[in-house]
Amino acid sequence: MTATIRKYRILRKEVIKQLYYSKMLTLTELSSLSHKSLPLITNAVSDLVKDGYVLEHGLAPSSGGRRPLTFSLNPQKQMYIIAVAMDQLVTRMVIYDLLNKPQNITYTLPLNLVDDTDALPKLVQFIKSNISLSGIPSEQFLGIGIGMPGFVNAEHGVNHTFLKSPDEKSLTGHLKKSIGLPVFIENDSSLIAFAELKFGMGKGYDDIMVVNIGWGIGLGMIINGNLFKGHNGYAGEFSHIPLSQSNKLCSCGKRGCLEVDTSLLVLVERARSEMANGISSSMENLFKDESRLQGDHFLDAARAGDPLALSILSDAAFLIGKGIATLIHIMNPELIVLSGRGAAAGKFLMAPIQQAINEFCIPRLADHTEIKVSSLASQSELLGAATLVVENCDFA
């Protein structure tokens, strides 16, 4: 491939990416966002229209002069993205079109990454089975994006914590060979942050922190509008800031980590202990239902106003807020987004977190930092996984 052809393909990909994130743009807007000249953008869009990727969408609203044409991705272009969102206990999969419209139900697989030695072959079978169920030919898939917990080196396609490849080579290489499609992986909290930036509460902001509240407490950071991952790609280990006053051993092998007092697994354990000591709660009946995870039952109880669940959640949220106060002093973000599975608790997280920030953060910094609960919540990692494909796949 010549350098000229390579540059042109990169330009086409950039146009598709900008339309994917913004839904509808004029040629001038595409030129501005891509930092390319208007003639180059015009030629690329014209070719993408001919190839069926892009549609003329009509005239933009009048701003006083001649109304420009707007363009969008073609919903009839039969190209699809496989998005996989993993946490320590549950794996979900959705197939999206280029407009991020799901083409089927959300497939769900209980999968314990910590204890299940067959987690990797089960993941492969799960993805392959759902591709078959979809009825979509493999050549219409652009690729597979997978968000997963752990120390993930996206560049080398390796997760140093979970899902070790049996041949000791890259995880993405193993998955690509097993499934037959391009595969891209990234840390779950990083993907959640990117999804919030492109589609959620972070849209339009440059400096944001996204707290992923789940079985652990993750952090994704956006600096100057770009995902920040640190020197080796492992930035954001919020769970392991030493804020706990207990002597509990963390999964990382250290003591005093934030995670040992704030993860959903710990909150469920505390609720069970309190009920065993005679505290009454609606969770006594909820926990009997094994069709859902107990962490989800805990969040349901908190949303329903269960006093025990709210008390436990408030203690954890206050400690999370104390950690966030520390991060505000370091990063001075415009916005903090509470996202992930735990964001389902919504407004019940806000008061104790804000209380901790008021108590531990310098007012001049705290007063200029917004805190919002994600509107994407449980969908954020799936959308982030989809963006991973758009950012990395090769559009013909």
Tell me the C-alpha distance between 330 and 300, whole Å: 34
Torsion on CA atoms 198, 202, 206, 210, rounded to nearest 10: -110
* Cβ proximity of 317 and 282 under 8 Å: no
**What pLDDT sits at residue 61?**
72
**What pLDDT sits at residue 233?**
76
The number of angstroms, rounded, from the C-alpha of 217 to the middle of its chain's C-alpha atoms is: 13
The per-residue pLDDT for range 55-112, each reduced to its tens digit, is 987 777 766 667 788 999 998 888 999 999 999 899 999 999 999 999 988 999 999 9
**176: its two tokens:** 């690509």
The topology under which CATH files domain 80-191 is Nucleotidyltransferase; domain 5 (3.30.420)
**What pLDDT sits at residue 238?**
86
- Domain-wise residue ranges, the chain: 3-73, 80-191, 201-375
What are the Cα distances from residue 13, in Å, to 16, 44, 60, 73, 211? 5, 9, 23, 12, 30
The per-residue pLDDT for range 27-53, each reduced to its tens digit, is 999 999 999 999 999 999 999 999 989
Domain 3-73 identical in fold to domain 201-375 = no
The topology under which CATH files domain 201-375 is Nucleotidyltransferase; domain 5 (3.30.420)
Q: Tokens 């229209």 appear where?
A: 49
**45: its two tokens:** 């869009």
Q: Is residue 278 predicted with pLDDT exceeding 70?
A: yes
Q: Is residue 279 predicted with pLDDT exceeding 70?
A: yes
The predicted model gives 202-212 an average pLDDT of: 93
Q: Is residue 151 predicted with pLDDT exceeding 80?
A: yes
**What pLDDT sits at residue 232?**
77
**What pLDDT sits at residue 243?**
83
* Positive or negative torsion for Cα 186, 339, 269, 243: positive
Q: Is residue 4 predicted with pLDDT exceeding 80?
A: no
**83: its two tokens:** 């998005």
In degrees rounded to 5, what are phi and psi of residue 102? -60, 140
**121: its two tokens:** 């072959």
Q: Which of 14-18, 137-141, 161-165, 249-253 has the lowest mean pLDDT?
A: 249-253
Q: Is residue 130 predicted with pLDDT exceeding 80?
A: yes
pLDDT class of 313 with cuts at 50, 70, 90? very high
The answer for 145, left when phi > 0, alpha when psi is -120 to 50, beta otherwise, is beta
The predicted model gives 235-240 an average pLDDT of: 83
DSSP tag of 336: E
The per-residue pLDDT for range 329-371, each reduced to its tens digit, is 999 999 999 998 888 888 889 999 999 999 999 999 988 899 9
Q: Give domain 3-73's CATH architecture.
A: Orthogonal Bundle (1.10)
Radius of gyration from C-alpha coordinates of the chain: 22
